[in-house]
Structure 1
């Protein structure tokens, strides 16, 4: 598999290099030089999740990793289901919260851990990543206890849910967590600064597990196929997918699935008040505002890192950005959407509620709608209980971490302090 740096196309790397390196020159994102067209899609969709994913990722990655090794990586990573649930007559939910950390990022995090363990070289590796909520837990649990791999996770202090924080800030051992006195965009900026520091990169073997890393992104492609596999052939022909969007890795993965040949009619990028992309699609002007804290904190991103990959896909496929739907909800609208879902008999959480509401407003006659549920409602226990006036029991995965003390350090958004922290 050959990949190029979107900012500097002459910088080209293998899949293994891209996994180890994370980012290219000038913080450029790596992207596949070619994306194959898969044939016999219906036959592919008839396969079980793991077997189908082995064929999809095998086609994307090529023969760089031996087939038996790649198949084992996928089998070890994808050990949980991604069921589709009916919410309304023509609207379905893809539930991506049945993994060990109850969030969609378990797919990408676990596959990346398998990939890095396979392609790594000798010496220390330090995974540095920023999280707006769910990435931290998925990465922490995927890499927990792996030898010679240290993980440092930055997150905005007080801007993720308490249960999200407990899920990855209570592990210890090779997992270090840092609460940054700023927003997620500042955390992400610190990660990018670290990658620009060549000396630091070499000393600590720096890598990132954000959706910056191509291995995470490719893994996410697989659950779009899994969703389609659970729908009828007729529903698939007019399928509209609403993606709760923050850093836009999830939407990028869906667009790659469409490029591969998965029959998705169109996508909708659904955001909260951090609506840089919906405004850009309406006006043609990229004008990020200051990030604001919302109920859907994993989407509190004003400068989405994966947007260049989205534009690259549209350009390469000859699509026009006007074909991409979008919408944004404020917190009051999010609460109303969550209540509407619950009244229909479906328990969701703020991110999925936004994706559902924007989808329901834009779905046209004859179309089948699918929205992504990216996290278990219990991860947002306080807000879901308040909004719906219910008591929500904690799943065991959350309950056991909720009883443990936080092990996080705290730091201002200062790169010199972070650099010293990484070197100690």
Structure 2
């Protein structure tokens, strides 16, 4: 089953928003072993949308369209799909009543334009909307099919998992079970990881093992290694995953910090909880980014006590007790880590200081970052990083690298 993705919206072509929806859809397709060889973006123009859809259907078995299902004049995806099918649109009264009920429950007056969302091409079926007002569509075109989903990512994601992916798999007639596992790591470059995993790629290819291996560099989220296995049963697929997961771990070892949706900050939090430790952070170059990511972890209040954004040198001295002449040094971040641990009365102190750019500071080049760790064991330490990129990338890489340094230190005991 070959699936194509079409994202609708003039704002995509103008660069006003980034098309994250196509990425989301392609990831979901890959997770269940469906091929996606082409993706397209098209503006809010009826004839061009129909042209793109016909072109996609000429080479693919299914097309997933996202966007253009709203209630405004430029939301014309339904009309375009009806045109490709060669049928008119018809009002579905049950959808209309559902939309009216949604507005009534929110105490809002519904515009008549919203009833456009209850129009469905004759012969197509609607996908019930549970997070918004615009239903999706399943529109057969001969032996092929067009799916339409809202452009709002929150709504699209739910509709993909609940209706579109299951329908695709049913049409494919493949009763095999597919299991995926994402291994998340940090500390290796993408090229270094590729080199280490190359023998495993060769093994999978030569033995035609029922598994695929891929990896993706994801910035502050680390590098993701995805394993997907296909077998007659879920249990059999899981066994294949476990066997090759062990092979991956042999290669990248302690660079692995988590699995699937686990973030670095969540992984650090789990380690702190296991050891009944609390954390405080002192941030200069990261400017609060570390604390912000930590508090996004559910339950972080059980192990995170707080932080200090000591951006100004005087704040480092008065609040954290830094006495080092140069505040961008190993000694300075050690003093910051000790100071914040003491001030906030936590078990662990983690500190960051460096140069985010755009210009260097004294003898320190842009991307020079020091991370300090104090576990209250009388042996605080610091590590120097040389990070690439612009100001924002340096902040992000400082954050995940510093948390990874703390993770490794905790694991050593």
TM-score (norm 2): 0.25
Q: Identify the structure with bigger relative contact order (alpha carbons < 8 Å, sequence gap 6+).
A: 1
Higher strand share: 2
The TM-score normalised by the length of structure 1 is 0.25
